[in-house]
Chain A
Amino acid sequence: MKVKRIWLIWFFLHFALILAVSVRETIWVLAHGPTISPAGLQSFWQQADKFASTLSGETPAAKGPFRPLLAAYEHFAGIEAGYGYFAPNVTNSYQIGFELHYPDGRSESDVPVVSSHAAGLRLASLLDKIGRTENEDTRELMIKLLCLASFREHAGAHTIRAVLSEVELPGAYQYQRGERPTNRELIEYTFEREPAATVNQ
C-alpha cells in the first residue's frame, strides 16, 4: 500500500510536468504562429507566452533553486520537450555551403558530410536549429564550429565563406506547373583559420 502511494505521488508530479511542458509548447505555437487562431487573439497568446515563460523558469529572474533539479528530472525522463513534430506547419529546410579559399588564390566548394542516412537526418536537424535560432551569436558560433570541421578536412585553406540558405518548397500544384525548390541565401559569414583552430566558449 505504501509502495502504491509513493508511485501515485510520482505519477501526479510526472504527469503535471508533461502537461506543463506540452501546454507551454502549444502556447508558444499559438504566440509565434502562423496558426488558424484568430488574428485578434495574437496579442493574448503573446502575453500568455510571456507569462508561461516566466512560470516555467525560462527567464533568468524566474530561476529558483529547484529549477535545475526539475530540469534534470525532465531530461532524465525525456519529457523536457513537447510533441509538436512537423507542426503547426512544415517549414522550409536549410542548407549550408562552404567556399574554401587557399593562399595561392584557388577556391573550392564543400558541404558538411556524414556517412549514413541516419546521421544525415541529424545533420538536417542541426541545420534547422541554426536556421531557426533567433540569437545571432549562437547562430554564428554553430556555423563557426561547422567550419572548423571543414578546415580540418582542407588543411591548406586559410579562409572559409559559409552561406546559410533556406530551401523554399513549391506547393503541389506549383510543382506540377514546373516550379522547383529554390535556394534563398539567408546569411553569410567569413572565417579565417585561427592558429590553434579552436573556439573559446
Chain B
Amino acid sequence: MTRRGFQAFLFPPETDSWLTILRVGLGLQVVFFCGSLFRDWNQILARTGNGVISRDLAETLVSLESPCIPNVSWLTNMGMVVGLTEHTTISLVWVLLCGFGVLLIIGLFTRLSAIGAWFIYLCVVKSSDLLVYGVDNLTTIGLFYLMISPLPGSQSLDHLRWRKKSRDPELLGFFRRVLQLHLCFVYFFGGLAKCLGAGWWDGSSLWRSLIRPPFNVIDPNILVHWKSLFPVGGMVICLLEVTYPIFIWPNRTRLVWLTGILLMHFSIAILMGMYLFAAIMIVLNVAAFGPGSLRRQPAARCVV
C-alpha cells in the first residue's frame, strides 16, 4: 500500500451514523452499569473497613504506576472542600455518571457528557481496580474514542437545538477506522491466546467457562447433553476471533463474521450472565462495522 493509499484508508469520508450508534450505545452501557451496581455502589467504592474491599488499596496500587491516574479519592477530596461527606460524594458520583449516560443517549451537551462520562467512569474503575474485569477496559476504550471523536453528530439534540454537527467527514472516517482497527487487535490477540490453550481445541475450556462459578447460569445437567458439540464450539470461537481482522473487511464476508461475533456475544450474555460485557462488545462491533454492512455506502451520501 502506498503512503497516499494508506492515508486514504485511514481517512475515508464517512457519515456520522456509526458515531450515533457509539454514543447512544455507550450512554446505555453507562446507565446499565450504574443501574446494575446501584445497591452495591457505596460498598464497592468505600474506604478501608467500610466496603467489600478497600478502595485505598486499589488506588495505592494504581498510583504506583502513575500518580496522574484519576480516582474517586480525587472527587471525595473535592467534595470535602465544599463540605460534602464521603458517602454523599460517592452517591453524587453515581448520579453524575448516570446523568452523563442519559445525556449521551439523547445527545445533549455531547462533548461535555462524553468527557464527563469518561472521567468519572475512569475514576470509578481505578478506585475499584481489584474488582474490575474485561467490561471496564472495553467501556473505557469506547468512552475514550467517543470523547475525542468529532461530536455531536446530526442525530443529536445538540444538532436540533444549535444546528451543531460534525463537520469533517474524513475525521469521522478516521475515528471509525481507529475503532475498527482496535477491534481487530482485540479479537486477534484474544483469539491467539485461546488458540494457544489446548482446552479450546478439545472443548474443555468452553465447558469449564459455562460451569465455572459465577458463570454457571445454565444447569450443568442440561449442558452435559451437548458435550459432543463443545470441541466444535471451542474451535469456532478460536477461528472466529483469530480470523476477525481478515474477514471483517471484505464486503462478502463482513456480514457473516459480524453476525458470528454478535451471536457469540449474545450467547455469552444468555449462557454466562455477562450482560454488560456482551453489551459493550455488541455496541463496539455494531458501531465499527454495522453501518454499511448490508449495502455499499456510496461516497456521495457522506455528510459535508
B6 nearest in chain A by CB position:
A8
A149 CB within 8 Å of chain B: yes
Q: A83, B186: Cβ atoms under 8 Å? A: yes
Main SS at interface, chain B:
helix
Main SS at interface, chain A:
helix
The size class of the interface chain B forms with chain A is 35 or more
B106 CB within 8 Å of chain A: no
Q: B68, A173: Cβ atoms under 8 Å? A: no
Q: A169, B208: Cβ atoms under 8 Å? A: yes
Contact among B133, B138, B193 with A29 in the assembled complex (CB-CB below 8 Å):
B193
Contact among A26, A198, A201 with B192 in the assembled complex (CB-CB below 8 Å):
A26
Q: A148, B189: Cβ atoms under 8 Å? A: no
A-B interface pairs (CB < 8 A), number = 229
Residues of A within 8 A of B43 (CB): 114, 119
CA distance A87 to B224 in the complex (A): 22
Residues of A within 8 A of B131 (CB): 122-123, 125-126
Given known contacts A126-B130, A172-B224, is B37 in contact with A77 (CB within 8 Å)?
no
Contact indicator per residue, chain B 190-208, by CB within 8 Å of chain A (1) or not (0): 1011111111110111011
Given known contacts A34-B198, A68-B68, A116-B36, is B230 in contact with A172 (CB within 8 Å)?
yes
- Minimal beta-carbon separation of A171 from chain B (angstroms): 6
Q: A36, B224: Cβ atoms under 8 Å? A: no
Given known contacts A68-B67, A75-B122, A124-B214, is B144 in contact with A87 (CB within 8 Å)?
no
CA distance A3 to B150 in the complex (A): 12
B227 CB within 8 Å of chain A: yes
A197 nearest in chain B by CB position:
B49
Q: A148, B49: Cβ atoms under 8 Å? A: yes
Given known contacts A88-B196, A171-B204, is B185 in contact with A19 (CB within 8 Å)?
yes
Contact indicator per residue, chain B 7-19, by CB within 8 Å of chain A (1) or not (0): 1001100000000
Q: B196, A75: Cβ atoms under 8 Å? A: no
- Minimal beta-carbon separation of A82 from chain B (angstroms): 6
Residues of B within 8 A of A123 (CB): 52, 131
CA distance A173 to B66 in the complex (A): 48
Contact indicator per residue, chain B 132-154, by CB within 8 Å of chain A (1) or not (0): 11101111110110000000000
Contact among B205, B211, B276 with A118 in the assembled complex (CB-CB below 8 Å):
B276
Which of A47-55, A97-105, A139-147, A156-164 lies at the binding interface?
Answer: A139-147
Q: A85, B190: Cβ atoms under 8 Å? A: yes
Contact indicator per residue, chain B 32-50, by CB within 8 Å of chain A (1) or not (0): 0100111110011000111
Residues of B within 8 A of A37 (CB): 196
Closest 5 CB pairs of A and B: A88-B197, A78-B140, A84-B193, A118-B36, A87-B193
Interface residues of B (CB under 8 A from A): 7, 10-11, 33, 36-40, 43-44, 48-54, 56-57, 60, 62, 65-69, 122, 126, 128, 130-134, 136-141, 143-144, 170-171, 174, 178, 181-182, 185-187, 189-190, 192-201, 203-205, 207-209, 211-214, 220, 223-224, 227, 230, 273-276
Interface residues of A (CB under 8 A from B): 3-4, 7-8, 11, 14-15, 18-19, 22, 25-26, 29-30, 34-37, 67-69, 71-72, 75-90, 92-93, 95, 112, 114-126, 129, 141-142, 145-146, 148-149, 151-152, 167, 169, 171-173, 175-176, 181, 197-199, 201
